[in-house]
Amino acid sequence: MTTAQGMDARVAELLRDSKMIIVCGPGGVGKTTSAAALGVVTATHFAKRVLVLTVDPAKRLATALGLEAIGNVEVAVPLPGAQGTLTMAMIDTKTSWDDMIRRHAPDAATRDRVLGNDLYKTLTSRFVHSHDYVVTERLFDARESGNFDVVIVDTPPSRSALSVLDAPRRMQQFFGSRLIKLLTAPTQSRLLSIASRPFFIVADRILGAAFLSDIAEFFTLFRTMETPIVARARRVESLLSDPATSYLVVTSAEPVAMNEAGFLVQELRQRKHRLEAVLANRIMPRRLADDATRRAEALESSTDPTRQRLAVAEREIASIADAESHALDRIQEWGADLLLSESRGGDITDTASLLTLGEAIRRR
């Protein structure tokens, strides 16, 4: 069933009704491109202000969208004739953390001490896991700002998406944990506390006392922001399970990618997130395969070498189609709606090709 714009009705409904679409999936299946294509389609056909937030520094995608580069700052994407507007932004971990500290620091002195702390600098710029929480902060900001009607989030590949989704909860648990209390307890009471002594003996031996005191200083400062950060983390967490927040798992028809996608589907369900659909990407155009075997047989009866070769091509198409349809049957067993995106051949070079790609997505 198609809409007035020639779009699949199910896809149109998803794009019309969601306030946030979180796109997850294994690496290398075209997740970022799919997120961008959905953004272009939504902004083109609906009078909505759309934001696509991506965690990948995809330069080529920026070029396709007519942008110099996607930065932490939101950039408007020119879409001629669109009913709505499209904005793109990439999440830069360091800048986002700095923004968060600026927002929550109780006073200027604490802010400057945190921002200048060596441990803070290393944690926020060099270690990937520090990324997780700020991603959720950024998408919460985007929803809260009131500047956008739909936010489409391109998450990091595979399981990293889950650590992002779990980050608000972990942040709350972290502040409530005995660990942070131990770390930030004054040195004097640490020495006196018999209960925590084994912890410090081991921690000191592994990490060294100097590092421990760096950590202690940092977390003591960090704790001054506990109340606002925990309150916010709680709101971020509830946004992730809000009924208007939809999850879309992108996969290819390749077995290992599918295993990973299947795992993500399971995990999202376990977290009670609203899984809207699975999108099978880079599927061969169906119409090529219809009748391919019959055409191959006809060509094989010829002695002409060109026709013989074309018969091989038809057999190849039939075999790809066969493998794909088995793969798609398996995906359907997961019980979510299955959307298909066909591989058009040719690169994504501009917003027009993203629009064509997005418009052709249909339900199987």
Partner 1 sequence: MLVCEMDDKGSLAAYLGRASLGFEPVEVSPGVFAMAMNTEDSLREYIRLFLRVPVIGSLTPLARIFDFVANAAPAVKEILAVGKLCYEVRERHYDVVIVDSEASGHFVAQVSAPDALATLVRIGIVADQTKWMSDLLHDPAVSTVLAVVTPEEMPVVETIELRTRLSQATPIDFAGVIVNRMPDSIVDSSVLAAARADASLGMTSEVAEWLVARREAAETQAKRLADAFELGNIETIAEARATGQPAMSPVVTTDHVVGELQRVLREHQ
**Residues 235-274 close enough to bind partner 1 by CB under 8 A:** 255-256, 259-260, 263
Query: x-or-dash pattern for partner 1, window 123-142, by CB under 8 A?
Result: x--xxxxx------------
Q: Which of 83, 192, 343, 352 binds partner 1 (CB under 8 A)?
A: 343
Q: Which is nearer to partner 1, 102 or 197 (CB)?
A: 197
Whether the CB-CB separation of 73 and 93 falls below 8 Å is answered with no
State the first-to-last Cα distance of the chain, in angstroms, to the nearest integer: 11
Q: Which of residues 205-234 bind partner 1 (CB under 8 A)?
A: 205-211, 214-215, 219
CA-to-CA dists, residue 305 to 170, 288, 302, angstroms: 64, 22, 8
**39/15 Cα distance (integer angstroms):** 9
Q: How far apart are CA 315 and CA 323, in angstroms?
A: 12
Considering the rule CB under 8 A, would residue 195 count as an interface residue with partner 1? no
User: Is 112 or 204 the residue whose CB approaches partner 1 more closely?
Assistant: 204
Does 60 help bind partner 1 (rule: CB under 8 A)?
A: yes
Interface residue with partner 1, options 47, 76, 313, 352 (CB under 8 A): 313
Q: Which DSSP string corresponds to 35-83?
A: HHHHHHHHHHHSS-EEEEEESS--HHHHHHTT-S---SS-EEEP-TT-S
Binding piece for partner 1, criterion CB under 8 A, among 24-32, 96-104, 229-237, 241-249: 24-32
Residue 352 binds partner 1 (CB under 8 A): no
Q: Angle CA(100)–CA(138)–CA(258) in degrees, nearest 5?
A: 135
Interface with partner 1 by CB under 8 A: which range of 36-44, 96-104, 135-143, 344-352? 344-352
Alpha carbon distance 14, 42 (integer Å)? 10
CB of 5 to partner 1, least distance (A): 25
Half-sphere exposure for 342 (CA within 13 Å, toward CB) = 16
Q: What residues does 249 pair with on adjacent strands?
A: 24, 278
Query: DSSP assignment, residue 248?
Result: E
Segment interacting with partner 1 (CB under 8 A) among 41-49, 144-152, 289-297, 354-362: 289-297
Q: Is 59 in the site for partner 1 (CB under 8 A)?
A: yes
- Using CB under 8 A as the binding rule, whether residue 168 contacts partner 1 is answered as no
| Binding range to partner 1, per CB under 8 A, among 12-20, 143-151, 237-245, 346-354 | 346-354
The distance between the two most distant Cα atoms of the chain, rounded to a whole number of Å, is 93
Q: Which two tokens stand for residue 76?
A: 């408007």
Query: Which of these segments, 38-46, 58-66, 80-88, 143-151, binds partner 1 (CB under 8 A)?
Result: 58-66
Q: Can you tell me the distance from the alpha carbon of 246 to that of 363, in angstroms, rounded to the nearest whole number?
A: 16
With residues binned 3-state (H G I as helix, E B as strand, rest as coil), the percentages for the chain, rounded to 5, are: 60, 15, 25
Q: Is 199 in the site for partner 1 (CB under 8 A)?
A: yes
CB of 254 to partner 1, least distance (A): 9
**Is residue 284 within the footprint of partner 1 (CB under 8 A)?**
yes
